[in-house]
C-alpha cells in the first residue's frame, strides 16, 4: 500500500458510495476526530457491522448526541459511511458502517520536517500533501 493510503473494508457498497470510487481523506482531520473523547469507544461499538446510532450509544456508554457528533465527523472525513435500512416498524433508519480497515501514513522526524521546510522556503518542490486515499 502506498504512503498515506487508507484501506477500506471490503463488503457491500452503501447507497452513498458506488463500488470502485476513490475517496481522499485528510489525515490531519481524521487524527483530530480520532483524538476526541469517546471516539475510540464509538468505533469499538461500531465494530464489523453497520449499526444505528442508538445501539452504538448503548454499547459505547455515551449519549446519542455525542455519538452523532463523532459519527458525523467520521462521515465527513470518509472513515464511516451511512446507509438507510428498513427497521422492524416498517420505516427506514440510518445505520453507520466503518469503511476503513487500516490507515498508513509516514512518520516524519523533526529533522526531516526541518529539511522539508527549508526546501519549501527555498522554492524547491513542495512536500506531498497529508492526504490519504480510500477506494471502495
Residue 51 lies in a domain: yes
In a domain, 81, yes or no: yes
Domain residues for the domain of 15 are 6-135
In this prediction, residue 136 has a pLDDT band, given cuts at 50, 70 and 90, of very low
Residue 83, domain member (yes or no): yes
To the nearest 10°, report the CA torsion of 3, 10, 67, 69: 50
Specify the pTM: 0.62
27-38 confidence digits (pLDDT tens)? 889 889 999 999
Would 44 be classed as within a structural domain? yes
- Could you tell me which residues are beta bridge partners of residue 9? none
123: left (phi over 0), alpha (psi -120 to 50) or beta: left
* pLDDT tens track for 59-78: 999 999 999 999 999 999 99
CATH number, position 64:
1.10.10.10
Residue 1 in any domain: the answer is: no
58 within some domain: yes
Rounded mean pLDDT of 98-118? 72
Q: How many domains does the chain have?
A: 1
Ranking 69-73, 86-90, 107-111 by mean pLDDT, the lowest is 107-111
For 61, the 3-state DSSP assignment is coil
Q: What percent of the chain has pLDDT over 90?
A: 39
The mean pLDDT value of the chain amounts to 74
- What is the rounded distance in angstroms from the CA atom of residue 48 to the CA atom of residue 45? 9
Amino acid at each position: 500500500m502506498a504512503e498515506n493510503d487508507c484501506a477500506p473494508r471490503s463488503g457491500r457498497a452503501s447507497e452513498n458510495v458506488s463500488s470502485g470510487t476513490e475517496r481522499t481523506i485528510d489525515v490531519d482531520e481524521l487524527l483530530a476526530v480520532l483524538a476526541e473523547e469517546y471516539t475510540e469507544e464509538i468505533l469499538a461499538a461500531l465494530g464489523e457491522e453497520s449499526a444505528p446510532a442508538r445501539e452504538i450509544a448503548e454499547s459505547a456508554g455515551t449519549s446519542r448526541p455525542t455519538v452523532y457528533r463523532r459519527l458525523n465527523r467520521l462521515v465527513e472525513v470518509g472513515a464511516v459511511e451511512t446507509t438507510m435500512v428498513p427497521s422492524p416498524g416498517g420505516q427506514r433508519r440510518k445505520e453507520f458502517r466503518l469503511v476503513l480497515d487500516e490507515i498508513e501514513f509516514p512518520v516524519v522526524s523533526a529533522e526531516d520536517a526541518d529539511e522539508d521546510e527549508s526546501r519549501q522556503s527555498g522554492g524547491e518542490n513542495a512536500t506531498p500533501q497529508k492526504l490519504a486515499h480510500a477506494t471502495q
